[in-house]
Amino acid sequence: MTLGLFVEPYGRHVAAWRHPAATRMAGIDFGYYRDLAQLAESACLHFMFIADTNNVWADMDFFSRSDRGAILDPMQLLPALSQVTQRIGLIATTSTTYTQPYHVARSFASLDQLSGGRAGWNLVTSMFAAEAQNFSTPVQMPHGDRYARAEEFVDVVRGLWSSWEEDAFLHDQDSGLFFDPARLHILHHAGEHFLVRGPLNVPPSPQGQPVIVQAGSSDAGRDLAARTAEVVFTIQQTLPAAQAFYADLKGRMATFGRSPDQLHIMPGCFIMVGRTEAEAREKFEELQALVHPKVGLSLLSTLLGGIDLSAYPLDGPVPDLPETQAGKGHQATLLDRARRDGLTIRQLYLATMGGRGHWELVGTPAQIVDQMEERFLAHAADGFNIMPPFPGALREIVDLVIPELRRRGLFQDAYAGTTLRANLGLAKPGRPKKEPR
């Protein structure tokens, strides 16, 4: 299976920064990130993945009690990490709603060069309404419009990444010719959202183009992923839901002339491991006890699409909610869980504080790997984005869970190559063709 590290400086649990082992201001400590990256690489994890948004919570009750005010721009951090690692992939989020294609193409092509072909772009359309307010836009763009823009955006980026043929740069000092103009392709893109001449002023990397990652679970998001993505980060709580998503997304790929093996589907996986189940449960409850009620309610409201829940009783049922223009996958998953398990608002936010909607595994190495193996073999996942819950948890996962996966023949003990594409078993992309939409 494919395994990535979902990087959060303190850990996935919302109260992780309050854990006794937490390093003060870890979110801006390069040494802390370096140690995480090198530990993940020592375990042969395929990549490290840094999610990002362009906002903080307006709710000061939440924001003042969270670590979200002290984090680094991943596109500044990953180039530095590329110099202290050798094989692990480096993936970061950049929005298609609040950037321009040329900026994204150049940034990730540069990271690809600096890292020797290990870059990946997590394409997002930005789910939080507050992000719009940081880009001179008082109202969030409707969900469908964001995805229409993203469809064209990724085509422009891939076109820019194809500006140069591999052997375009001659460096011929005798003739004075630095590159062969016949091997340069100017994009001349003119579309509904973008007018981009090109070319890109960064040569192609050893892997040809950065890997494209996507995380949308709506119908529009699945179509975008089926057409363009090579890794999908997704959120499902149950095996049937994961199998249904996997079958649906892989099944859409033929429409776009792609085969299922060109895409890795990787749900988020929050792992709390102990040498005994009781030990794992105790560690989990220690974190749960650190959750401030205002943090729990505010985070749940945000994940449900920015809907204010303060008027409802905490120990009453989760109300019926309107459809959101924010992240539809999170809202649907959390509402399904509340209905399925009969959870109150308080119970739902407590059940969300660890994985924040993602699959939670708490137990011994054998118990955890049993569940991972079940989903992997049942065509519900090609692998997982591992979410360590608290500081030091990655070391426990590396020491306890990874050996159990290897004992069962489920995970690699060496990298297949030097680039992210090689390690994911993905071929170099050819020059882009006009694809069906």
pLDDT band at 433 (very low <50, low <70, confident <90, very high): low
Last residue of a domain, one of 308, 334, 352: 352
**Measuring CA to CA, which residue among 299, 284, 276, 304 is closest to residue 361?**
284
**Measuring CA to CA, which residue among 55, 153, 166, 50 is closest to residue 105?**
153
Cβ atoms < 10 Å from Cβ of 431: 11
Query: Rounded mean pLDDT of 16-20?
Result: 91
Looking at the fold, whether 125 and 174 belong to one and the same domain comes out as yes
283 domain-assigned: no
pLDDT band at 63 (very low <50, low <70, confident <90, very high): confident
Asked if 354 and 389 touch (Cβ cutoff 8 Å), the reply is: yes
Q: Give the long-range contacts of residues 317-320, CB within 8 A, separation 24 or more.
A: 317/342, 317/344, 317/345, 318/343, 318/344, 318/345, 318/348
Please compute, for residue 65, the number of CA atoms within 13 A of its CA located in the half-sphere on the CB side. 17
285 domain-assigned: no
222 domain-assigned: yes
Quick one: pLDDT at residue 209? Answer: 97
User: Containing domain of residue 347, as a range?
Assistant: 292-352
Looking at the fold, whether 55 and 165 belong to one and the same domain comes out as yes
189 domain-assigned: yes
Number of independent structural domains in the chain? 2
**Measuring CA to CA, which residue among 409, 408, 420 is closest to residue 90?**
420
Looking at the fold, whether 173 and 258 belong to one and the same domain comes out as yes
432 domain-assigned: no
Of the candidate ranges 59-68, 74-83, 130-139, 407-416, the one whose mean pLDDT is the lowest: 59-68
Looking at the fold, whether 374 and 345 belong to one and the same domain comes out as no
Looking at the fold, whether 322 and 404 belong to one and the same domain comes out as no
What's the CATH number where 117 sits? 3.20.20.30
Last residue of a domain, one of 352, 370, 388: 352
Is the predicted pLDDT of residue 318 greater than 90, yes or no?
Answer: no
Looking at the fold, whether 107 and 245 belong to one and the same domain comes out as yes
> Over the range 273-307, which residues count as b (16 or more CB within 10 Å of their CB) and which as e?
bbeeeeebeebbeebbebbbeebbbbbbbbbbbbe
Is the predicted pLDDT of residue 437 greater than 50, yes or no?
Answer: no
371 domain-assigned: yes
Looking at the fold, whether 141 and 236 belong to one and the same domain comes out as yes
Beta strands in 130-243 (DSSP E): 169-172, 177-179, 189-190, 195-196, 211-214, 231-234
Strand partners, 195: 190
Looking at the fold, whether 320 and 402 belong to one and the same domain comes out as no
Looking at the fold, whether 202 and 258 belong to one and the same domain comes out as yes
Q: Beta strands 177-179 and 169-172: pairing type?
A: antiparallel
**Measuring CA to CA, which residue among 120, 113, 60 is closest to residue 83?**
113
Quick one: pLDDT at residue 227? Answer: 97
Query: Rounded mean pLDDT of 343-370?
Result: 86
Give the H/E segment covering residue 283: helix 277-288
Looking at the fold, whether 337 and 400 belong to one and the same domain comes out as no
Quick one: pLDDT at residue 417? Answer: 97
Is the predicted pLDDT of residue 106 greater than 70, yes or no?
Answer: yes
Quick one: pLDDT at residue 328? Answer: 60
Q: How far apart are CA 386 and CA 196, in angstroms?
A: 37
- The more confident residue out of 384 and 130 is 384
Is the predicted pLDDT of residue 87 greater than 80, yes or no?
Answer: yes
Quick one: pLDDT at residue 301? Answer: 77
Query: Rounded mean pLDDT of 344-373?
Result: 88
Quick one: pLDDT at residue 83? Answer: 98
Query: Rounded mean pLDDT of 211-227?
Result: 92
Looking at the fold, whether 90 and 181 belong to one and the same domain comes out as yes
Last residue of a domain, one of 336, 352, 368: 352
Sign of the alpha-carbon dihedral angle for 1, 411, 387, 128: negative
Looking at the fold, whether 341 and 399 belong to one and the same domain comes out as no
pLDDT band at 294 (very low <50, low <70, confident <90, very high): confident
Query: Rounded mean pLDDT of 404-429?
Result: 97
Q: How far apart are CA 329 and CA 198, in angstroms?
A: 35
Quick one: pLDDT at residue 269? Answer: 96
Mean pLDDT of the chain: 91
339 domain-assigned: yes
Of the candidate ranges 8-17, 123-132, 261-270, the one whose mean pLDDT is the lowest: 123-132
433 domain-assigned: no
Q: How far apart are CA 265 and CA 228, in angstroms?
A: 13
The answer, as to whether pTM is greater than 0.85, is yes
* Contacts of 201 by beta carbon, 8 Å cutoff, 6+ apart: 106
Quick one: pLDDT at residue 436? Answer: 41
